[in-house]
Structure formats: structure tokens, C-alpha cells
Amino acid sequence: MTNSTNGSRPRMKKTAPQTPSIQSLDRGLCILEAVAKSAGPVALGHLTDLLGVDRSSAFRLANTLRRRGFLANPNGRKDYILGPSIWRLSRKHDWSSVLITFSHEHLRRLALRTGETAHLAVRRGRQACFLHHYHAVAQIIMVSARTGEFVPLYSTAHGKALLVDCGIDELRSIFGDAPLQAYTPQTIVSIHQLARSCARSREQGFVADDEEYVEGVRCLAAPVRDKDGSVIASIGISAPQSRFPRERDRLAARHVCETARELSAVFSSESDVWPYRLTSLR
């Protein structure tokens, strides 16, 4: 196709060349990820196989990380575990503020799609902590948890979404075997009931709270996952029961689950859009 003014071909915009990565840095980060994912100390031979380099090169990379405190040798052995510098960095960084920044637009869209208040929560021990919310301005009556508010994991949609991958043994390790406190007649009060609820929710992809924490209030939430599939947060909506009957669950769940998948995709990105790990939120 020619340009209508001068007959010349239009100039194609040049694509910026991709900046090459630094191979040694990339290999060092691979070492840190491998050690972080391992349940026990990682042998130098495993790192050598992982990187596809000779043993001396793998040792130099791992030893550099050890000298900087990012790796350590337990009990004087040559195997590697994460070192204290990792802990110091994670303690200094406010992961919650990063999560809020990346989730704000998703919360806004969810609130506008559903016409209800959208919330984002993370796990803190036996409780869920609300980090952020967005109001649907069209509603006169709204259900809104305050930012920083803590609610039980087992009796709220957001809390149960954070527990969705837990089996009965893990639930016992969190809550023990004693009966759970009942907040309403609908509250789940036993670990076996909670395990069955988690299994159902895991299968359907979302969690509903039918007035289990506050009478007259229903909530629906879904888990947000990171690159490894671990649940790092929950996102969902809350509304008065009179405006949010079960008949709305199918459409609401579609919007909530779509938003959770979109947000999970951000946290699973291999690009520099999401360079952080959120395991410290637990």
C-alpha cells in the first residue's frame, strides 16, 4: 500500500531490540528458586544438573550467594539452604502494599460488574485480613469490611477461599480438634465439616458464605494463586442477603472467578510486571 500524499511506502516502526539477559545472574536466581522450593538442603550436584554447567561453575555461583548471605551451609556441609539475607530482605519489604497496588483495578472492575463491594484478603494465622476494597457506588446499603480488619478463616468466604487447598490434617494443624466457635446458626463448627466444605469449594472454584459469620450477609470469594499454584490471597464480593440470594451465585461466581484468574495471571507472570514472591503473606 502506498502513501496517498507522496506515493512512498509508509515507514514501519522498528521494534526495539530485546535486552539480553545476564547469564550468570539468571543462573544465580535459578539456584535461589531451586533452594527455596526444596523441602531440605540442596546438594551441589543437583544444582549442577539443574543449570547444565560443570561442577566448578555451579560451586562458584552458589558460593558467591553464600558469601552474600543468600545461601547457607547447614551444619558445615556442602548442601545449601536459604540464608539470612533472604529473611532480612523479606522483613524490610511491605508485600501487602505491592499486592494492593496490583489488585486495585481488578477490585474496581469486579465491583462495577457485580454492583457490590469487592474485597481482597490474605491469611494471617487463623484469620483472614482484609487488605483492600472497592465500593459499587450505585448501592445505598453496602457491606464493607474495614481495611485491616481480621475475620475468622473458617466462617467467611474469603477465609475459606484461603483454606481451599487444605485437607483435614492441615486444617487440624491450624485449628486443632476442638469445636469451632459458632457466630450464627449457619457457622461450620467442626474440622470434618470444614474439610468437606473445602473439597466442594476446590471442585467448583469458588466459596460461598451463607450468613455464616454475620446474619443477613452473604459473600462469595475465589482464591488467587501464584506461579506455583499456591493460594496467596482471596478476592470476592459481599452484599445483604436480601440483595444477594443464591439465585445470583452462578453469575456472581463467574465474575469473581474470572477476576481471580486475571489476578492470578498477573502474579504468575514471568515478566518484570510481577517480579515478587508473596509467600511471606502467610
Single-letter residue type at 126? R
pLDDT at residue 12 above 90?
no
β-strand pairing of 71-72 with 81-82: antiparallel
Q: Return the minimum-mean-pLDDT range out of 24-38, 93-107, 235-249.
A: 93-107
Min mean pLDDT across 46-50, 98-102, 268-272 is at 268-272
Alpha-carbon distances, residue 58 vs 62, 82, 248, 273 (angstroms)? 6, 16, 56, 29
Tell me the mean pLDDT in the region 29-46.
88
What does the pLDDT read at residue 39? Answer: 80
**Greatest extent of the chain over all pairs of C-alpha atoms, in Å:** 83
Q: Bridge-partner residues for 129, per DSSP?
A: 122, 150
- Choice between 100 and 205, residue whose per-residue pLDDT is larger: 205
Q: Which residue has 544438573 as its cell numbers?
A: 49
What's residue 275's pLDDT?
38
Residues 6+ apart with CB under 8 A from 156: 128, 209, 212, 213, 219
pLDDT band per the 50, 70, 90 thresholds, residue 233: very high
pLDDT of residue 118: 94
CA distances from 199 to 174, 193, 205, 230, 269 (A): 17, 10, 10, 16, 27
Lowest mean pLDDT among 13-17, 56-60, 83-87, 115-119: 13-17
Residue-wise pLDDT for 159-175, tens only, equals 999 999 999 999 999 99
Contact 164, 223 (CB under 8 A): yes
Cβ atoms 162, 223 nearer than 8 A: yes
Model confidence over 236-274: pLDDT tens digits? 999 999 999 999 999 999 999 999 999 998 877 643 344
Domain 95-281 has CATH 3.40.50.720: no
Q: What does the pLDDT read at residue 123? A: 93
Which position has the higher pLDDT, 20 or 252?
252
CATH of 23-92 given 1.10.10.10, 3.40.50.20, 2.70.170.10, 3.40.50.300: 1.10.10.10
pLDDT band at residue 276 using 50, 70 and 90 as cut-offs: very low
Please report the pLDDT score of residue 166 as a whole number: 96
DSSP-assigned beta bridge partners for residue 173: none
**What sign has the CA pseudo-torsion 168, 170, 175, 178?**
positive
pLDDT in tens, 191-211: 999 999 999 999 999 999 999
Domain boundaries, the chain: 23-92, 95-281
| Average pLDDT, rounded, for the chain | 84
The pLDDT of residue 60 is 92
